[in-house]
Structure 1
Amino acid sequence: MILKVKDNFYYLLRKWPTIIIVAAIGGAIGLAVAIFKKPTYDAELTFVLDDEKGGGGALSAYAGIASQFGINLGGLEGGEGLFTGDNIIEFLKSRRMIQLTLLSKADFDGKKELLVDRYVRVNKLDKDWDRNDKLKDFQFVADTSRNFLQDSLIAEYHKSIIKDDLLIDKLDKKLSILSLKVTSKDELFAKAFCEKLITNAANFYVKTRTKKSQDNLDVLTKQVDSVRKELNSAIGGVAAASDANPNANKAFQSLSVASKRRTVDVQANTAILTELVKNQELARMNLRNNKPLIQVLDRPILPLEKNKVGKLTGIVLGGFIAGFLCVIWLTFKRILKGILAA
């Protein structure tokens, strides 16, 4: 084996002109790549998940009191499921979030534009659209209507973004701080997409995790308004009954019945309204307790970090790769020739 390795080494030394020429060609290719390849930009945003498992303390005690009156404040134990653990990473990569972000508008040089239009133009995905009758006059629209062609295009863009442009990971496995990085040839698009994605995720959380709390608050608000209306009516009834008999004869007890009935209504509605107002404030506390889930720590700031291969790096790297492949090819060719000769 040692003799064969030594013999192959001297064989490669005799082929040094070929290896040098191939390495030079590789270096030239690396230089061309470094000159003509457009740089990419990284927009990185770090955020932390608010994983509180419950309101605890006084809020939980108040919830217990509220439940005695048939009021379910809900959500006090904190939400577990979609927004816990590593689920948030897959959620941010989901087609729904990517589609919602691509169909969001952002400000580019003072002009509002859909992110998907910017993405298509930057990556030159529309260069062959004029040759296709279906895509010739196609335009993306930011609405909820079902558009088969638009959905198909965005499905392809989603795959490409997840594969090449989007990276979401934890900075440290022991921490709950996550990093969201978007890579693009356009630094304005990279920054806008990064910020819109995290904003849409936070808004989605508010609409889902707090939905039950918001519904409870809406019901309590309607009940408070209804009881307050009845209380005002009862107060007006007491006044009306008193005005009808300002100097009622005490010998005729029936004359004071209407006023007493309305007074009882006032007392009952006052007690009910007091409890409902308390529960309403508890519901507001619970709603605030569930916000927010995602807290942004660092946002991308222009100018973004540029990824570009330097000329010297391109020459060295291109030459090394080409020379290495040439050595492999010459060795393989010699071995194969020896096998055939045997």
Structure 2
Amino acid sequence: MSPANGPLGGGTTIYIDGTSFTTDSKLYFIMDGQEVELNATFVNATRLVAKTPVGTMPGPVDVKVVNADGKSGVLAGGFTYDAPPVFPDPVITSIAPNQGSKRGGNLIDLYGTGFQRGARVVLGTEQLDLAAYMSTTNVRVRVPAVSTEGAVDVTIINPDGKSHTLVGGYTYLEDLPVITGISPSSGPMAGGTNIYVDGRYFTSNMIVTLDHVELTYTYVNSTRIVVRTPAASTPGDVELTVSSPSGAASTTTFTYEAPPVLPAPTLTGLSPTTGPIRGGTNIYIDGRNLRSGAKIVFNGIEYAVTFVNSTRVVFKTPAASAAGIISFYIVNPDGQQSGTLNFEYK
């Protein structure tokens, strides 16, 4: 018999050598007291060829050849079924990455010991074939999609039925909002700028803050929202943040621009330059860079003026207690002030 042993699963090609074989010789394995016929091929009077059937248990079996005339020969213990190899129990020690979006589709690696080719992985309730068998210490699977986030158990099952479970080994996460850009990225301190925020995984129940102040926003779709900036007290960079209900956040920067620095007011003349102490004189004050909302400081007291344009304001003099020369200057809304001119009470 050659070979004289083979796996319990059968399929081994064996050559049976002897004498007086015929074309109608039948070949049997005697297993558990039962004769199991093999499909034997006659080569010549001294050789038959066949494939072993599946064995019932490891160990030797008798081999019997029976010719058509009833004559037979038996080779006691002629073929031995080998015991299958004993593999160690699989053990999962880690998973990388061990979390990901509930949309699935990503690959994860299981690390450990005792992994066999043909193993299967159960992720939560989903049974998966391996995407790749790397070694006895590493296998790879593709994560399926699920409807809810949370931790799930991960189990590996070897072909021999041995298994191991890593409890809570993988965590499904909600889709985390991600900002990819904003337009515009700056605006005036007065507020009122519409910011178009682009990104991924936006939802209508996110929280949006600018400089840590929550804002209302317009949800366009999962890749765009629109927010309007409030007024700011100081110029500079502030954080624009979108947060999921669970608190996962993505942040970018918006810049409040400082208002332009306007030139200070200057005074070039006034008309008339004198008036009665009873007051009531309309003084036409001429200059440059005068602003709407400017004030006049007249004899140390601040009064409103009538703004005509950037080169003229008008002021009605108050009554004076005595004749004399009074100095005055103009203060623009931004606090910049002009030099002084004089008005004389007579």
Q: Tell me the TM-score normalised to structure 2 length.
A: 0.23
Asked which structure has the greater CA Rg, the reply is 2
Q: Tell me the TM-score normalised to structure 1 length.
A: 0.24
* More relative contact order, 1 or 2 (CA 8 Å, 6+ apart): 1
Higher helix share: 1
Higher strand share: 2
